[in-house]
Structure formats: C-alpha cells, structure tokens
Amino acid sequence: MHLTLRQLEVFEAVARLASFTRAAEELHLSQPAVSMQIRQLEEAAALPLFEKLGKKIHLTEAGREFFHYSQEVGRLLCELDEVVEALKGVQTGRLRISVATTANHFATRLLAAFSQRYPGTSFSLDVTNRKSLLDQLASNDADLVIMGKPPEGLDLEATAFMDNPLVIIAPPGHPLASVDKIPLKRLQDETFVVREKQSGTRIAMERFFEERGVQFKTGMEMTSNSAIKHAVEAGLGLGVVSIHTLELELEAGRLTLLDVQGFPIERHWYLVACRGKRLPPVARAFFDFLMGEEASHLLSAGKAS
C-alpha cells in the first residue's frame, strides 16, 4: 500500500472534524483538493474510509483504524520535530504554550522576562478556556499549559507555582460593600454572574458553596472573566473571579471586594504537561525559569501592584 504523509494529514483532519469543508479550512486547501486526497488514500487502501449517512460523514471500520494510526504518525512527527529542536538548543527553540484566560495577564509578563534571558527563542501562545487546554494536552498541541488544577485521572503532570485566590466582587455601591465579615448564608439572597460549567473557577465556586451547605442563585453565564467583570460593574450580580484579573478595576474603583467569611477560596496555578513527555530544551528551560527566584519576584511584584 502506497500512501503519503500529506494524505494521512488530510485524512486525520477530516476524521477529527467530521467534515470535508472544515478540514479544508483548517489546512488552507480547497474542498476538491481534500476530496482528491481522501479518494487517493481510499484507492491505496482498496477500502472505503468514510460513509455518508444523511448529511453527516462517519468512519468505517477501516477508517477508524486509519484514524488511530494517522494520529500516531502525527505524534511521532511532532516528537521528531522536538528532537530536532533539541539539537538546536535553547537559544533557538520554539515554545508552544497555552494558558487559561485568567492567567493571561501574568503569563505574558513571564514570557517577556524569559525572552529577555533567551532572546533567540520564539513562542506560540494560545489563551483559551479550560476545556480547550485539556484538549490541547490530549492532542499534543502544546508543550506546556498554565491552568488551575487539572482533573484527577488524567495522564498529566501538574506542578503548582503560584497562589490563585478566588474573591467575590461587587460594584462599589452594593449594600454589602461596606459590611465586614459577611456570613456566607447572606449570599443566598444575591444573584451571581458565573463562568461556564467547564470553567475551573465555576467548579471551585460550586464545590465551595456545596461543601458548606449554601445555595446560591445564578443569573447570567459568561465565557470570560472580562465579561463577568463588566456584568458585575453594570449591577447584574456578584461575581467570583481570580484576584489576578482585578488589578485595573480595583485601582480605578470600578469594582470592590466583599469581605465574606471563608473567602478567598485558596487555589493555585499549575504548570501542566503530559506525563512522560520529553520536553524540548526551551520548554524545560521555561519550566526551570518559572520555578526559580526571578519568576517568583516577578509574580510577587505583579501581585503587589
């Protein structure tokens, strides 16, 4: 059977996205070009790899086998690329890093400081939500990820490097803004603007209230901390966010922290990688940098400001 890496790449995209059109967009090809590559691959295999039911395409049994091996070939090619980069050393390496949206503020400061130490390095930075971060780790699309604690049971290595306290925010004119030691049950009368259910902040918040037998009302659901801050500022409810996202709003007096018993919720930021993954030198250097004193001072200065 004669096939090409390009055919496998195109097939993997179509199978993963379940769409010829979306695969063409991702690969920057025309749809006829994608269809041709799939047709040639099916001719080489002498078996159909897709079947169409209604408007949807599905993998055949042969297609499922091809999908498994195409992903394995892709993984090995990524590993080869990492080995080649390793031979070049840290000074010319490229770091693929993804961070939670909440961590973007300090993550960019860390990358700026790291690039000053290693000026020949380059970065691929993706700022996204928790679910996407876990998907990227599973598909080996990122060397390192900065996020809250990942769920148990995944084949990941997570190293805590920084506190991540969650606080309750309100508009400055809220009746509770001037109250000290607010009982947690008092918040049952309030409406909260919350993150989406897959968010680490939402998970921590719900666990915190549930463990203390306190119910809370949810109003609007948002997909970013920025949207939550704007909604709280507009008076649509209270919010629970990381203290690291509030520097500008607190300085400008647009938001205030509520003094609620049991808060802040103590969490941590983690540097996460796939267990057993051979990190390229630039990723290993960034890991060591993040665990060192220079990064610690930089993060402390950021919290103090």
Residue 304: pLDDT band (50, 70, 90) is very low
Note the pLDDT tens digit of each residue in 209-234. Answer: 999 998 888 888 888 888 999 999 99
User: For domain 90-162+268-304, is the CATH number 3.90.1150.10?
Assistant: no
Give residue limits of the domains in the chain.
5-83, 90-162+268-304, 166-257
Residue 295 has a pLDDT of 75
Cα separation of 138 and 126, whole Å?
A: 15
In 3D, which of 250, 298, 305 has the Cα closest to residue 107?
298
Say if residue 93's pLDDT is above 80.
no
In 3D, which of 289, 279, 302, 253 has the Cα closest to residue 94?
279
User: For residues 259 and 131, is the Cβ–Cβ distance under 8 A?
Assistant: no
Note the pLDDT tens digit of each residue in 113-154. Answer: 888 888 878 888 999 888 899 988 888 888 899 998 888 888
Percent of the chain with pLDDT over 90: 40
Beta strands in the chain (DSSP E): 50-53, 56-59, 94-100, 122-128, 144-147, 156-163, 166-170, 191-195, 217-222, 238-242, 256-257, 268-274
Q: Which tops the pLDDT comparison, 104 or 87?
A: 104
Q: Tell which CATH architecture fits domain 5-83.
A: Orthogonal Bundle (1.10)
Structure tokens that stand for 67 in this block:
């999908």
Note the pLDDT tens digit of each residue in 11-20. Answer: 999 999 999 9
pTM of the model: 0.61
Domain pair 90-162+268-304 / 166-257, same fold: yes
User: For residues 282 and 121, is the Cβ–Cβ distance under 8 A?
Assistant: yes
Say if residue 303's pLDDT is above 60.
no
Q: Tell which CATH architecture fits domain 166-257.
A: 3-Layer(aba) Sandwich (3.40)
Residue 305: pLDDT band (50, 70, 90) is very low
User: For the chain, what is the mean pLDDT?
Assistant: 87
